[in-house]
Structure 1
Amino acid sequence: MSLPSTPSIETLTPEAVAKTIDHALLRPDMTVDEVIEGCRLCAKYQTASVCVKPCNVKIAADVLQGTGVDVGTVIGFPHGNTPAHVKVCEALAAIDDGAVELDMVLNIGHLKSGRFDEVRNEIQVLTVAAKGKLPTCCVKVILECSLLTDEEKITACKLSEDAGADYVKTSTGFSTGGATIADLKLMRANTNPSTTRVKASGGIRTLDFLIECLQAGADRIGASATAAIVDEMRARKAAESKCQ
């Protein structure tokens, strides 16, 4: 489902809002029952995907089979410190379990150390391996913007794009900050919209902020407040209809 050129309450529908959301089920203390409940919520609201911990990919894939909701997971989460070959193994195992979207954390320390070739190569090796196993696999690179300077964010965007990633993503939601409008505008301005999309994640709990993120250039939203956001959109649309 494509977004309107100017996303707003007036131009969006509840269904379109839901299809921008990767519903996050990543809390370290989350139980299997909570994961299953969250996946059923995704099926009910028809989100773009669910993003679960690697250990829960198979569970999510079983629950969501035939629903039209994709299963995603995280790689090198939450700090990006595992070696490249371990991230690749993690990615391939996740695909075997049913994941079709991979949100990988880049090596933040190596980026800040100026080891750009290593950062690019890590993303590229994982992307090539994942797409070699599953050509339709979607690879998103988490920058963790709250830990980076603007110059480092721009460099990370360009390295990710050069490496063939499908998305650049603001945050894990488990560091010192989440998505900001300034970061989204910066990321959008420094990637090619025809090849590289932008995902906003971290602290997006309201419909108004979700729409602000879309207006700033986000194509996908990572959120756990899916029901509240979509229900608010439905309520506003219903109120809008009554006023007409």
Structure 2
Amino acid sequence: MTTQDSTGSSTDSGTGSTTTWTAARVARLVDHTLLKPEAQAADVVALLADARDLGVLAVCVSPSFLPLDRLEGASTDGLVVATVCGFPSGKHTSEVKAAEAAAAVAAGAHEVDMVIDVGAALAGDVEAVRADIAAVRAAVPAPGVLKVIVESAALPDDVLVAVCRAAEEAGADFVKTSTGFHPAGGASVHAVEVMHATVGGRLGIKASGGIRTAEAAVALLEAGATRLGLSGTAAVLDGLPRG
């Protein structure tokens, strides 16, 4: 059992070990995200400036803004650039997802977060999900990073496990909880625990969707998340100790 205190420290009662999640440490695990449909170029430029000030690892933006260096005043210096494909429904054909991913990589994206066909997963067609991921993987060759958004809140545990295994078999680098747009909800500690138990240590686990406080972020990291997708990054980091 892991307990947390107001300083951002967590203690494992089984081992007695303590982890201090400082703002600087957590920032290096953050994809600072802007995927709102109403976002404009000026918003992306502001996002990039905020990302550098906050010390985050990456920014995640809609593919229509790529390449980012064409935006007046934009600077990606020192930042990983991530984008999405098949977003947010996942109901695009594999060919369309792969083409979108390939275009994003050609336009400077280092990482692509794709959305699975949740309906196919719920119908038990895991092979279709695996093939869909494999098609996008082929469009995002190494060293490009592929994250697979599974919409964990919409999946029963057994389906979540099967989808995570399919992502691993198809060559994904990460599994990711949520788009943040699904009515079923976003990231949960339980979902991250299931994902970690299934592929942890082999694939990265990105928790995203509805993470608004430092306490929520730490709980997800303690559950096994290795990356966080945040739109309210400053508020989360402000709730953590400096250092």
What are the within-5 Å matches in structure 2 for residues 219-234 of structure 1? 219-233=226-240
Extract unaligned runs of 5+ from structure 2.
Answer: 1-7, 11-18
Structure 1 Cα separation of the partners of residues 60 and 103 of structure 2: 15
Structure with the higher fraction of residues in strand conformation:
2
- 1:169-228 Cα distance to aligned partner (Å, 9 max, x none): 1100001201011101011001141x2111100110111111110000000001111112
Query: Is 1:68–2:78 an aligned residue pair?
Result: yes
Return 55-64 or 31-40, whichever deviates more.
55-64
The partner residue of 2:92 within 82, 89, 97 is 82
Q: 1:212 to 1:61 in 2, by over 3 A?
A: farther
8 Å CA contact 2:21, 2:218 repeated in 1: no
Structure with the higher fraction of residues in helix conformation:
1
Query: Is 1:188–2:199 an aligned residue pair?
Result: no
* TM-score, structure 1 normalization: 0.87
Q: Could you tell me how far 1:11 is from its partner in structure 2?
A: 2.1
Partner of 2:49: 40
Query: Is 1:58–2:59 an aligned residue pair?
Result: no
Amino acid at match of 1:64: S
Amino acid at match of 1:11: T
Q: Could you tell me how far 1:61 is from its partner in structure 2?
A: 7.8
Structure 1 Cα separation of the partners of residues 53 and 22 of structure 2: 16
Query: Is 1:129–2:142 an aligned residue pair?
Result: no
Structure 2 Cα separation of the partners of residues 77 and 179 of structure 1: 17
Q: Could you tell me how far 1:164 is from its partner in structure 2?
A: 0.8
Structure 1 Cα separation of the partners of residues 236 and 120 of structure 2: 36
Amino acid at match of 1:12: W
Query: Is 1:105–2:105 an aligned residue pair?
Result: no
Partner of 1:178: 186
- 1:82-138 Cα distance to aligned partner (Å, 9 max, x none): 00011110001001111001000011111122222121011112112211xxx2111
Question: Helix, strand or coil: the match of 2:60?
Answer: strand
Amino acid at match of 2:115: V
Amino acid at match of 1:160: A
8 Å CA contact 1:112, 1:152 repeated in 2: yes
Partner of 1:145: 152
Question: Helix, strand or coil: the match of 1:141?
Answer: strand
Q: 1:146 to 1:61 in 2, by over 3 A?
A: farther
Percent identity, please. Answer: 37
Q: 1:55 to 1:200 in 2, by over 3 A?
A: same
Structure 2 Cα separation of the partners of residues 150 and 215 of structure 1: 19
8 Å CA contact 1:188, 1:198 repeated in 2: yes
Structure 1 Cα separation of the partners of residues 152 and 84 of structure 2: 17
Structure 1 Cα separation of the partners of residues 94 and 39 of structure 2: 27
Q: 1:60 to 1:170 in 2, by over 3 A?
A: farther
Q: Could you tell me how far 1:60 is from its partner in structure 2?
A: 6.2
Query: Is 1:8–2:9 an aligned residue pair?
Result: yes
8 Å CA contact 1:61, 1:71 repeated in 2: no
Structure 2 Cα separation of the partners of residues 121 and 128 of structure 1: 11
CA RMSD of aligned residues (A): 1.7
Extract unaligned runs of 5+ from structure 1.
Answer: 1-6, 239-244
